[in-house]
Amino acid sequence: MEDKSLKEGRRHGAPDFPAGCYRIRSPYAVILGQLECHWHEEMELFRVRGGKARVQCGRSFEEIGPGDLVFFNSGELHAAQPMNEAPLEYDAVVFSPEMLCGSGELARRAYVTPVLEGRLDFRRVIRGENKQEEALLAAFDQTMELLTRQPPAYELRVQSRLLDIFAGLTEDSEQLSVHREKEPSQGIKTAIEYIRENYSQPITLRKLAELSHLSEGHFCRLFKKYTLKTPIRYINTLRLAAAQELLLKTDRKELDIALETGFSSLSYFIDSFRQSTGSTPAQYRKRARESSC
């Protein structure tokens, strides 16, 4: 199964089986490989397949490379930005925390709820440095394969693999004596959700600051702290990702794509696309189609 955005607000899986998998490869990885700062209520397992990235887990940052697996918690701001010119290619499994509670109330009380509430200090990155970690990476790959092929009884096997991975992450964890201070990020979450739902429309800093209940100056500083981008750059990156998909999947004119994805003019769209990818939209579309032949 190949997805193009991991867009905020999408449904992952089905209501009775809330788990989905996503695979980003070239040529989609040129822009879409930049997993922009976002959040969702589901947990996520994210494994790099190509390139290197600086990943964000809340207020923490980690450098990861090919083969590394990262856990993003429910409700946590997270992102993955390429560290070099190589496109970032990755697999991701996004699932409801309820998938981890099949073994009963003890699992929920002792492990799942403490992780959700930030009371359990546990590993976030698996690099395959020993046999135990290699087994967890293999469990992730099996989960991707099961979700993609969906053989008979795959739901049971997926849940089993997710439990194995979560157990591996938490087996050396420590209960914290006090709740961690909650991140001052709710206003930023609100702004990000608004941007992701309305990027094709004009968006002003004033509107975003109002939604966050902050002054424009404080909002811009806090937004860049969490996303490592200015609000304008963040909005343009989402617009470019949507435009890239339309370039690859349709024969629509560049002007139509520019206007549909929120750019005010064709020239601004072309300049922004060139700065991001090193090529014009027309050149990018031509190369992508030639490489697929």
Residue 77 burial by Cβ neighbours in a 10 Å radius (0-12, 13-18, 19+)? buried
Integer CA distances (angstroms), 280 to 43, 46, 233, 273, 275, in order: 36, 30, 18, 6, 9
Tell me the C-alpha distance between 12 and 293, whole Å. 32
The β-bridge partners of 71 are 45
Q: What is the pTM of this model?
A: 0.80
SS3 string, 133-197, reads HHHHHHHHHHHHHHHHHCCCCHHHHHHHHHHHHHHHHHCCCEECCCCCCCCCCHHHHHHHHHHHH
What phi and psi, each to the nearest 5 degrees, are found at residue 90? -155, 165
Tens place of pLDDT for every residue, the chain, 293 residues?
Answer: 433 333 344 556 677 899 999 998 876 655 554 678 889 999 999 999 999 999 999 888 999 999 999 999 999 999 998 887 778 899 999 999 999 986 668 888 888 999 988 888 888 999 999 999 999 999 999 999 999 999 999 999 999 999 999 999 998 787 765 444 445 578 999 999 999 999 999 999 999 999 999 999 999 999 998 888 899 999 999 999 999 989 989 999 999 999 999 999 999 999 999 998 889 999 999 888 777 65
Rounded to the nearest angstrom, the gap between the alpha carbon of residue 112 and the centroid of all alpha carbons in its chain is: 21
